[in-house]
Every structure is written in structure tokens, then in C-alpha cells.
Structure 1
Amino acid sequence: MVFWLLLHFVIALAGTWMARQYAIRRDLIDHPGERRSHDVPTPRGGGVAIVIALLVAACVLAWRQPQQIVLVAGFAVGLLLVAGIGMVDDHRPLSPWLRLGVQAVAAALFSVAVAATWGNVPLAMLAFAAVLVLTNVWNFMDGINGIAATQAALVGLGLAFVLGGVWGWLALALVAACLGFLPFNFPRARIFLGDVGSGALGFALAALLTISMAGASALPQGLILLPFSAFLIDSGLTLLRRFVRGERWWTAHAQHAYQRWVAAGRTHTVVTVAYAAWTVAAWLLVWRLTLMSEQQMTIWCMLWFAATVGVWAWLQYLHQPLDGPRAAANGKDTE
């Protein structure tokens, strides 16, 4: 296990360093703006190193576990499609509908692999939806230092223990790759994930989530959503509010709760750590709920998501952005 973790950590660490040099040479730079939460020009596209680490892991697992070849192949090809369209978008902005179309193809390929493996059509439909939702959720929520990679690492770590076996090893590879990327992104960002990385993280987690619901774990299915709650609620309610207001909901903005919190004066480090703490607490609750009855599980899940909605509303409406230089000083992404 130590060698496995070290391998993917080193791949991501070295790959992120090389991606940063490439981004600087090609002028792939995110510049500050009113729709961004940083005020220092920063290279993007570092998430390609995480993609490479995951592809290496998929190849190794396919070789060692040929009985899983169809599902692993569906994962690898889908990951390549999502990461590939994200990489193109990092070089030159694409239509959001084109990106969504490619993501839908990736989701369809993975769902076909799920159906071929288990013969379970409802599960395949769930896989399709999970890929589309989480790929975009992680893209939406990748707006401040470390938040997308830390959330992926924490969710992935829990899923590694839940799944075990082949897919548990893939989850560990995801965790190690995120840890290899984070020194370049947190607490000070020297490179961003880019669409290539954020979309890939969402896709990988969607695949692991689907497999956990396929009976690959003894965990009750509903509980597995709790560690995703911070990202699901923040992205989902923010998107819904923009849609209801008639705004161009598919365009970039800075209205997520975590962005409001930063704009109100908290540093990127504080907000990222707070989101991480929420996810850790969710995993602890999952462990505790496995000892309870089904009725108690349902009640606690409802209470947890209600609490998440309440925190979202508190951050949105009580942490209004500051004006002037103070906001820039407190909201900067260099600590």
C-alpha cells in the first residue's frame, strides 16, 4: 500500500511541477476579475497530473484484475474524454454546451460499462446522472485554493475504506494524486486545477460512488451521499437560485457560499479547512449511523442535509461581500 500511494503521489507531484512550467510558457494564466476569488495571475491546468496518475492506476488494475476490464476500460475512456475536453477548454474557451455534450458521451460510455458488468439498467442510469452531476459540481466548486482537491481527497479516502478491493485501490490512487497536487495549490496557489482537473475529479468520484451503490460495499446506499453534502448543496442551491432569478446560470460567477465567505473577509485557507471539517464530520456520522436502525439513519440524513442547507443560507445572506480594498486584502489567494 505504501508503494502504491507513493507512486501516485510522486506522479502527481512531478506532473504538477511540469504542468506549471508548461502553463507559464504557453501563457495559460487565470487573471483576477470580479467573477474570480483570487487577485494574483496564476497558471492553470495542473490537474492533468492527477489524470495521469489515475490512468496509470487504471492500467495497473486492469492488468491485475482482468475480470474487471470492461468497467476499468469504461472508467479510463470516460476519464480521458472529460479531461480531454477540459484541457482543450483550458487552452481556448469552448462552448459550455460542447463540453456538456462530451461529458454526456463519457457518462454514456461508463454507464454502458456498468450495465455490461452488472446487468443493472437502473444502476447504469444512476451512473450516467452521477457523472454529469459530479463532473460539473467539482468544476463549479473549484474556485479557491485547495477546496476541490481536498474535498476529492477526503471523499476518496472514505470511499477507499468503503469499497476495498480493486476500486478501493483506485480511490487510494485518487487520494495520493490529490495530495501530490496540493503543495502547488494550498495554502498558496502556484497553479490551479483547471477544467482538465476539476472535471476529472468529479468523474472519478462519480464512478466510485456508482460502484459503491452496486453492492460493492456493505454501507447503506443513502449514507454515501452525506460526505458529498457540502459540494452538492452549495452548487445545487446556488445554481437553482440563479435559474429562478433568470440569470445566465451556465456562465461564470462568484455566488457560491464559499465565494461569498471569502469575499466577506475570510481567507482561502479558513474556508477550505471549514469545508474539509464538514466532510470529515459527515464521514464520522456515516460510521455512527451504520450502528443505528434504518429509521434512525433516515432521520439523521434528513437532519444533516437540512443543516447543510441552513449553513448555505447563513453564508449567503449573513456573509455579504465587503467593499473596497479590505475585500481584496482578505480575499486574496496568496496567504
Structure 2
Amino acid sequence: MYRFEIKLLYFSMALIPLGIIMRMNDKIAGGFFIGLGLIGLFIYFVAKTIKDYLNLKSINLNIIQLILVVLMTVVLFSKYLFLRFSDYIGLLIIPLFIIVSIIYLLKEKSKNINITITSIFYLLLTIPLFAFEFHKSPRQYIPKEWYNRYDVRKGVPIDIPYGFHFKETEELSIKAFELRKTKQYYEAIQLYRQAIKIEPNNPRLFFDLSDCYARVNNLESAISTIDTAIQIDSKYAAFYNNRGLIYYKLKENKKAINDYLKAIEIDSTQMTFYCNIALVYYYEEEFNKACEAIKKAESLGLEVDNYEEFERIKNRCSE
């Protein structure tokens, strides 16, 4: 029985980096392997926690660390698979796990080897959750919610005026859209790629594919894909707007401004374009331009009171 438990532990642990590597290469099964690995670890450590507690009849640092490992398994499952970020449970458990793990690794004299290895493994898995601030472009397995520089969460849907030449392409696009609604972006990416093979000159497919890449923070691919859409149709403003958003996330504000200006040049009736460029101007400390953009957005229907960021800009304008 003990051998089976150990095999379960290390087999489950091996599945997780395999799944991450597959995700980085946009393979559909990546999420499955990550989930399967975390479920295996959850089962192992729940059983071990109960068993060790019943044997000891008391709580020591080993038991506390076991409980935190179980909780961290749930947290990592929610973040790596369901992209649930900024939740209070995670914000509480992650720092608590890090602190207790360091104490456990440094101070505990009777360390359990399996708890030790798993604790180090989980500490490594938490690094991508914070590393986004230290890289110009984050790895794509970090959900975009953790790379949201200025906490701008509300978006405006864009209607793309491109049809499909083949029924099969349309069906693939519809399926991909349904996957996007449930945040299954990697699966959607595969479907858009299939659709592009059928209609390689349809800019809508590249636009949607770029959005999927951006949502899993594969920002380099997001830019190159939207570049292709622009090459096919350089007169559609939303393409430049979306590329500007990606540059904005990469902190390449000058490029973002240029794209927003191009979008406005093509279509000056879109409130969203002025909102986006106002934010970049504001964080570039070009306050007069930010104020002008916000005023224009208001004239097009922006309700500033609904957006904390824009209200901050407007207050600056009145100073």
C-alpha cells in the first residue's frame, strides 16, 4: 500500500510540469494533465493528513504543513485551470503557505521527505503567479488577470464585420467562441487554427485567435497574429485598438498610443478607443492629452462614475 501511495505522489507530481509544457505549446491536453496531477496530489495529502493526525492525536508543524499543502492544491487547481485570481482565499492561503513552508524547511527537525519535496514543488508553482512584474512579457500559462497593470476589468464587446466562406469554418468559429466563454482558451486556439487552415485570408479568425493568445498571456503570439489580420485588412480600426491593448500590457506605451491613434484616425466614433488612449496618456503623465481623450469619450457616451480609473483622470483634469 505504501508503495502505491508513493507512486501516486510522484506520478501526480510529474504530470503537472508535463501539463505546463504542453500548455506553453498550446496543446489541448495540457490542462487535463495539470488537473489530473493536482487531483492525485490532493487525494494523497488528504489521506496522509488524516492518517498522520490519527496517529499523533495532536497538531504539530508537520500536520500544519500538510493542511496547507492540501489547501494550496485547491488554490493551484483554481488558478492554473480556471484562471480564478484576486480571490480572497488565494490571497490568504498563498502567503501563509509561503511563510509556513519557509519555517518548515528551515526549522522543522523531523521533516517528512515527501512533504518537503511537495512544499518546494508548490513554492516553484507559485512563482509564475508573481513573476509577471519582472518580465517584459509573461509566460502564457499566467492568466491575464494577474497581468492587469491598472485593474481595468470592464471591456466593450466588438462586432467583427467579416463573414465566412465555408460552413465548416463558421462551425469551428462558433465552437471556439463557446469555449472562450468558459475560459477554455487553449482548446479554442486549436479550433481557430483549424479554421485558419480552411480560410487563411479571413481576418476575423486571426482577430479572435489573437484575443485567445492575449487571454493566456502569450502576448508575442497575440501581436504576431493581429499583425496578420492587419496585413489582410489595414482599414479596420478594432485591429489597431486590440494591438494597442497588448502593447499596453507589455508596458510599451508609445507603441500602444500609436495604435490607438491609428484606430481613432480610422474610426473616431468609438468611445472605447478614447478610453484606452486616455489611460496610457495618464500613466505616461501626459495629463492634458488624457483629459482631452476622456472628454471626447464622455461626449460619445462614457459614464465616468462607473470606472474608477477614468474618474481618477477626470479629477486630475479639474485640479
Greater RCO, CA 8 A, separation 6+: 1
Greater C-alpha Rg:
2
Whether TM exceeds 0.5 here: the answer is no
